[in-house]
Amino acid sequence: MLVAPTHPGNIGGVARAMKTMGLGRLILVAPEAEFPSQEATRRAAGAEDVLARTETYDTLDAALSDCRLVVGTTARPRSIDWPQMSPRQAALRMIVDSASGPVALLFGQERSGLSNPDVDRCHYLVRIPTHPDFASLNLASAAQIMAYELFLACYREQVDSVEKPSMSVDWKQMRSFYDHLERVLLNLDFPNARPPTKLMRKLMRLFNKARPNEEEMQILRGILSAVEQNVTNKIS
């Protein structure tokens, strides 16, 4: 999944990288680059079928709505530490979790990578090891490395030993929960809840790590609704 890609050639390069490793679903989120484009087709060089099936969304939330695991790639440190995996660990995790529903691997814009709001939607971040003097990878190169790891992960014996999570809720349900949580915190006038704040980012990191299932989410939403009702009763 490419978030706000700026160069059509990179879209084609990623499509080619994917096809060489047996991957076929490419998603673009709010691309700045013109698409479809002749440059993307030229760079795809045999992966035109991947381009033809490419899906485009206006927002990341819409693109992730049915995803149960989201992994983001990053080359820079973040102000709030996020759970991290190596490319190999991330690939194994994605292959295992894909048996339970859609998973997503995010690549950020060429100039700046994933934004903090993009990262907030990730369960894990992955950083591709590079020489410390030059850590920036071309988008298509980064996609090729991760596609290769995913290809290998399909045939690793370790896949069977990776713990399989319970059926976690998808991003659409998580997004609704976060909106509900923020609303309740604001109604409670909870310290540091009013934006701009890092509180919600830290809470998102917490619940992203927990990856609640349907029953757990119902409990959490029930608690929030009870608090909300209690506050309403006191005000009235």
Backbone φ and ψ of 59, nearest 5° = -130, 155
DSSP track, 159-191 = GGGSPPPP-B--HHHHHHHHHHHHHHHHHTT-T
Residue-level pLDDT at 158: 61
pTM: 0.89
d(CA 177, CA 65): 13
Residue-level pLDDT at 73: 95
Residue-level pLDDT at 157: 59
Per-residue pLDDT of the chain (236 residues; tens, 9 = 90+): 999 999 999 999 999 999 999 999 999 999 998 889 999 999 999 999 999 999 999 999 999 999 999 999 988 777 778 899 999 999 999 999 998 899 999 999 998 899 999 999 999 999 999 988 887 789 999 999 999 999 999 877 566 666 666 789 999 999 999 999 999 999 888 887 777 678 999 999 999 999 999 999 999 999 999 999 988 877 76
Domains and CATH numbers, the chain: 2-161 (3.40.1280.10), 171-235 (1.10.8.590)
d(CA 15, CA 48): 8
Cα 29 to its chain centre, rounded Å, is: 12
- Cβ atoms within 10 Å of 89's Cβ, excluding its own: 17
